[in-house]
Structure 1
């Protein structure tokens, strides 16, 4: 094969199928091209070998395979039974000023919004001091416009007037149960309203902008602006503080001892109650709540409440349970140990980031994030009763 014939073959091999041709003709043309390329390649190799020339067929090296994109390691879910670290850290927190000294009376300097109410109690004598108001400006006021009396029951048992549910979720109003009345304070104006209600009222809690108060016999829903009331067929001891965003007439009761969850709904045709037992099967064997205490707090489908728990090897431990309000399944326990004051660790509500705020006696508050298991301190040495604008 001479040079002229070789160039003719290489030219034919370089031709492409024209896109304007019909598909069938194109495929036939392509077959011919591929055949011609094979012939041309063989001829070219023969020429190289016959002439003894050195031909280097250079082609770009294959590109290295791109590195596998890093996949985010899934964050391991927090264990169902969690414990705080041996040493709590205390990140900066607006609530950390709860123990600051009083700077002004509320009457002279009302708040735009209160973050918390605090009533100091002497741990040695049990004597309480006046109620304080922590504003969103970081200043602590004396609640000088009213001095609520201790609550009492029919047997004469008394308790300090500040309750965990006294402060409204928006931080603008405070309420205090009293015998035969409920006292409502507008913290933005320092004005006080008193609404007469029959009974040894001991409890207060807020359902959004609605106020509930009651005793062992009756629970009232009160309009804090007008004093209008209606009765609610629920126990004030076991009522769960609803999510402030929930405007339904459904109430949840979380029994303290029966380990059951009851949904109560009022309608024109009466009161409907549906109850079911709590389910502990999502926890490791032997872990459960033996008895609840304090107030339960709802956020979305979750309810957090303090109680005495068992963890398989120990019982009578202080702890906090997290459960699903729809199914009654207990999904998390926070084990706070045994060497604490009895009933030390009452739940005070939720913060906006989905963390549970818990008393941590002696004398402190902590923040528990159930989804990650993180537990941090909020404030130390805070002896007494606290109510937070947390719902």
Structure 2
């Protein structure tokens, strides 16, 4: 080998893989480059050894580079307020993934230190299909055997599952079930039950610091978590947003009107319920024709942000499924997760926030998904989950 040949080989050996190439091409080109470098290194060393009177047998590596592209689990949309989930969700390991597992022990036999979630299995007719399950922070799924809450009902006789988003306290130690003429509170750490008599058809529960807010059509009660003392509160339990657990007992209560002509964000005093301010929900940051048509399900606060499921006008149809994140002070819509048109109506209720600032939501047929509004990342948490879920804060 002459000097010119060696110089050409050494030039090839330092060729870089351009970062702008797609993943598959990058892997292939990187593999070629690595093989060239090994070959050139072998030749150069051989030339040196021959020149010094020494001969050695050199074996370049035969390990091939990956032949498949590395598909991203994230489809980020950093710049835009409208985001979409990927066509196929990935399911990274997650403690909540066990929530749909069968119960292996009864709560009375082994109370929890902290529950991560409650799950009420439902059949095809949307009737309870077995005991309520409790996923503890130890990963064990327990059955709730100390009480069997009845379905909630309204004055028209319509029934719904006793488990709903919001019934599990943020610390995961207590579950509160709205019932007709009473509130049932279950201490999950001792497996004990307390019944608090109240009047009316009660359907929904919201934990607000040291109180449980429970109500139905036309009435809302504030129940002290420790004493059980109850008083009436002038707020709508249907539009009430779950407060941020970190906000404290005097944090304002937020209501968000659900219907198109009444999309307002109203702030109320924590104790009296007196109105402090009212703002219109606005979508000026959204590209046209995007707008919020109507909210549904429970809203949840996390710091200064509010997340709630909605029907939206998208760039395809009116009435698409979506999730909106709002500024909790001004009512301005900051981000929308566009879930498209090919989903069942009311599919995607928000279940809360996690401690990393991600929104947890139902997403059929995935079961539960996690959405990071700041990056657009959407991943699966639990696959098919036929029933109702309540998560701890």
Kept after mapping to 2: 8 A contact 1:117/1:134:
yes
Kept after mapping to 2: 8 A contact 1:173/1:187:
yes
Supply the distance in 1 between the matched residues of 2:364 and 2:176 (Cα, whole angstroms). 25
Kept after mapping to 1: 8 A contact 2:264/2:280:
yes
Unpaired segments of 5 or more residues in structure 1? 1-74
Larger Rg over CA atoms = 1
- Of 260, 265, 269, the match for 1:261: 265
- The aligned residue for residue 30 of structure 1 is none
Supply the distance in 2 between the matched residues of 1:102 and 1:348 (Cα, whole angstroms). 22
1:267 shift after superposition: 6.8
- The aligned residue for residue 136 of structure 1 is 137
Q: How does 1:346-357 map to 2 (within 5 A)?
A: 346-357=349-360
Kept after mapping to 1: 8 A contact 2:266/2:275:
no
Alignment CA distance shift 1:274-1:360 (3 Å): same
Supply the distance in 2 between the matched residues of 1:133 and 1:78 (Cα, whole angstroms). 39
- The aligned residue for residue 174 of structure 2 is 173
Residue 181 of structure 2: SS of its match in structure 1?
A: strand
Supply the distance in 2 between the matched residues of 1:196 and 1:170 (Cα, whole angstroms). 24
1:362 shift after superposition: 3.0
Supply the distance in 1 between the matched residues of 2:90 and 2:376 (Cα, whole angstroms). 14
- Of 255, 277, 282, the match for 1:279: 282
Residue 163 of structure 1: SS of its match in structure 2?
A: coil
1:209 shift after superposition: 3.4
Residue 200 of structure 1: SS of its match in structure 2?
A: coil
Q: How does 1:64-83 map to 2 (within 5 A)?
A: 77-83=78-84
- The aligned residue for residue 165 of structure 2 is 164
1:76 shift after superposition: 7.8
Kept after mapping to 2: 8 A contact 1:78/1:373:
no
- The aligned residue for residue 217 of structure 1 is 218
Residue 245 of structure 2: SS of its match in structure 1?
A: coil
- The aligned residue for residue 323 of structure 1 is 326
- The aligned residue for residue 344 of structure 1 is 347
1:363 shift after superposition: 5.3
1:111 lines up with 2:89 in the alignment: no
1:338 shift after superposition: 1.5
- Of 355, 371, 383, the match for 2:374: 371
Supply the distance in 1 between the matched residues of 2:375 and 2:195 (Cα, whole angstroms). 44
1:273 shift after superposition: 4.1
- The aligned residue for residue 55 of structure 2 is none
1:352 shift after superposition: 0.5
Residue 316 of structure 1: SS of its match in structure 2?
A: strand
CA distances 1:152-208 after superposition (whole Å, capped 9, x unpaired): 011111101111001000000000000000000000000000000111000001112
- Of 276, 297, 302, the match for 2:300: 297
Alpha-carbon RMSD across the aligned residues, in angstroms, is 1.5
Supply the distance in 2 between the matched residues of 1:228 and 1:267 (Cα, whole angstroms). 14
CA distances 1:278-320 after superposition (whole Å, capped 9, x unpaired): 1110111211110100000000100000010112332111110
Aligned residues: 314
Supply the distance in 2 between the matched residues of 1:256 and 1:99 (Cα, whole angstroms). 31
Unpaired segments of 5 or more residues in structure 2? 1-75
Residue 134 of structure 2: SS of its match in structure 1?
A: strand
What TM-score comes out, normalization by structure 2 length?
0.78
CA distances 1:204-257 after superposition (whole Å, capped 9, x unpaired): 011123211001111111112211112221100000000011122521101110
